Structure 1
Amino acid sequence: MTLDLFLRLLALFIVGGIGFGAARAGLTGGAVGLRALSNLAFLVFVPALLFRSMAKVDLAHLPWTLLLAFFAPLLLWSLLARWSFARRDRDDPRARQDGPAASAVSAVTASFGNTVQVGLPFAAAMFGEAGLQLHIAIVSLHALVLLSAQTVLAEIALARAAARAAGAARPPLGAMLLTILRQSLIHPVTLPVLAGLGWNALGLPLPRLLDEVSGLLAQAGVPLCLALIGVSLAQYGLGEGWRRSAAIAAMKLLLLPALVAASAVLVFRLDGLALSVLVLAAALPTGSNAMLFAQRYQVREGEASTVIVLSTAGFMLTAPLWLALLALWQQGARAAAAG
């Protein structure tokens, strides 16, 4: 890992540490202040980022084969993680108290990578302009694919739980579908993404004022999300479940990129730059949107913030490992082609 990348990672920890220190000093207002800050990030700044990204992305020239090779195993991983967490939660009395959306929150934590604050500078430094463009294509659809899918699953679980609480063994299908559709669309993740896609489909450029305002909000969202990680850690601490958080971080850093690599090589026959970009994008630490997703449903916020910190620290060790493995694979592939 280069010195520049190390310093960028260190900067993430420093901003998070500032949030931690501010919370410890009583500047953030405790649990009430944390909720207010997270609402501001999740309901204002992040939607502006998502809308602006989807409104400006060039959909016609996206590398669709590469995106399929990345998101197919990633989405499979996310869905399997949600199923696994839900099954485990059913067997744990304490976990059952977290509520029906908890497994979706844990699945997002185990699958949503920090493709912006860490991924963008990492791709630029390691792979140059060509690799950066491929990574930007992944960023453009990352939240749309992962957060939208888990939002729908979380809302399905909540609708079923509400029906059971009302005394219905099984919720009426029509009413449940309407509730899920409404809650999934009127949502701070899916709504700005769909609005941005709609604007994009019209083929119109963003008005300058709207572009400037959304750009400012998006830029402000990044440091706020990083500071919120520290505030959340100060509020919840590592807790008794830090071993579970460490296991989730290890899954994110080691197992997920291995799955993406195997799929890319065996199914999509990718190699070279495309393979390297895909694997390192999958190997990124958990991003701050996972914590915001947890705070949206008010469950497992401490777990999400702990995984973010542990996986970001662990990335300093696992990133050189994946770069070395990719280099060995590329050398072997070139030797096999020459022979």
Structure 2
Amino acid sequence: MTLNLNHPVLSALLPVGLLIGIGFVAGRLRFIRAESVRDLSNLVFLVLAQALLFRTMSAVRVERLDFGAMALYHAVAAVLFFAVLAARGFDSRAAVLALASIFSNTVMIGVPLVGLAYGEAGLVQLFTLISTHALVLLTLATVVLELLSARDRAREPGAAPRHLARTVARAVRNAVIHPVPLPIIAGLLYAQTGWGLPPVVDRPLQLLGNAFGPVALVLVGVTLAQTAVGAQLKGALAIAAVKTFVHPMLMGLAGWAAGLRGLPLAVMVVAASLPIGANVFLFSQRYRRAEALVTASVAVSTALALVSVSLAMALVPYLPQ
């Protein structure tokens, strides 16, 4: 029996594993030292991600979006997010781990995988989800994390009490004026003008955005080399299992119950079965919460996705019509 490296699942996941592996070797050999990781994280989070998110959203026309499957996907993710948040103690660390349980690698892995498996029609479905994926889920996590952080600060000795409405308003403001949602919102608003990006602007943004996925994954590998994975393995397996198996199972059941069928259902279930996206790693770095555990979870979920994605693609066609 020969291994088919052109299989859609393998051809999408193996490059991700190789990039993480390259970063791991670079970290072990100290090509990138531990004290440089924070600066690289800021580069990816504050420069490369900005370019990718703004450029992607600058081509999205609201009237062309099919909101049905996308809204259901986000609803399922929100339910799972709050379930994990409650199970893990309703604190800021739990918010980061809850995000890891629902945020898929829709761009780096999802785009080539769905393109190979379902063609252009599948990509249209996936791009509709991608257009709001980071905006909805990262904003949700940011609002919750800001609220929990405000609660923690209010409990500190000598802290002045804050009115709930003011705390909520501050959290929403911090969620919007934030390195991830802000370029998404700006890009979406710009897209509605219909002007398009001039080549002199579009080309640099494209180059920066193209660097996001590879550099972020290499950075995951570097951090992994500096993390005691053995100590994090049990926790990482639990988070990765929720992300790659529980999430798609809930999406499939909810989609089927809501009357979603065929290609839209298949793409949404496959998207839910994808491993944890690099944005979660950057999110944990940004807020300095559960960094080692999230790093290990990204790597473990990438390995588990070889099974979860294959199962999703194989089983969805057998759901009752």
TM-score between the two structures when normalised by the length of structure 1: 0.88
Q: Distance in 1 between matches of 2:136 and 2:194?
A: 22
Q: Distance in 2 between matches of 1:111 and 1:174?
A: 28
The aligned residue for residue 277 of structure 2 is 287
Q: Is the contact between residue 164 and residue 171 of structure 1 (CA under 8 Å) also seen in structure 2?
A: no
The aligned residue for residue 253 of structure 1 is 244
Partner SS for 1:270: coil
Q: Which residue type is aligned with residue 5 of structure 2? A: L
Q: Distance in 2 between matches of 1:125 and 1:2?
A: 14
The aligned residue for residue 180 of structure 1 is 171
Offset of residue 322 of structure 1: 1.9
- Identity of counterpart residues, as a percentage? 36
Gaps of 5+ in 2: none
Matches within 5 A, 1:79-90: 79-87=82-90
Offset of residue 199 of structure 1: 1.3
Q: Distance in 1 between matches of 2:73 and 2:165?
A: 34
The aligned residue for residue 96 of structure 1 is none
Gaps of 5+ in 1: 88-99, 334-339
Q: Is the contact between residue 239 and residue 302 of structure 1 (CA under 8 Å) also seen in structure 2?
A: no
Q: 1:107 aligns with which of 98, 101, 121?
A: 98
Q: Is the contact between residue 12 and residue 113 of structure 2 (CA under 8 Å) also seen in structure 1?
A: no
Q: Is the contact between residue 262 and residue 317 of structure 2 (CA under 8 Å) also seen in structure 1?
A: no
Q: 1:29 aligns with which of 24, 30, 33?
A: 33
Offset of residue 83 of structure 1: 2.3
Deviates more, 1:205-214 or 1:135-144: 205-214
Alpha-carbon deviations, 1:208-261, whole Å to 9, x = none? 222112111101111101101101101223142321110111111111111111
1:308 aligns with 2:303: no
Matches within 5 A, 1:122-141: 122-141=113-132
Q: Distance in 1 between matches of 2:65 and 2:179?
A: 25
What is the number of residues matched between the two proteins? 317
1:197 aligns with 2:185: no
Matches within 5 A, 1:132-171: 132-168=123-159, 170-171=161-162
The aligned residue for residue 78 of structure 2 is 75
Q: Is the contact between residue 113 and residue 282 of structure 1 (CA under 8 Å) also seen in structure 2?
A: yes
Matches within 5 A, 1:40-55: 40-55=43-58
Q: 1:323 aligns with which of 308, 313, 316?
A: 313
Alpha-carbon deviations, 1:49-104, whole Å to 9, x = none? 111111111221111112122221112212222222225xxxxxxxxxxxx42111
Offset of residue 16 of structure 1: 1.0
Q: Following superposition, which runs of at least 4 residues in structure 1 exceed 6 angstroms of deviation?
A: none
Q: Distance in 2 between matches of 1:77 and 1:282?
A: 11
Q: Distance in 2 between matches of 1:119 and 1:77?
A: 20
Alpha-carbon deviations, 1:270-295, whole Å to 9, x = none? 11111111111111111111100100
Q: Which residue type is aligned with residue 317 of structure 2? A: A
Q: Distance in 1 between matches of 2:186 and 2:314?
A: 41
Q: Distance in 2 between matches of 1:25 and 1:169?
A: 48
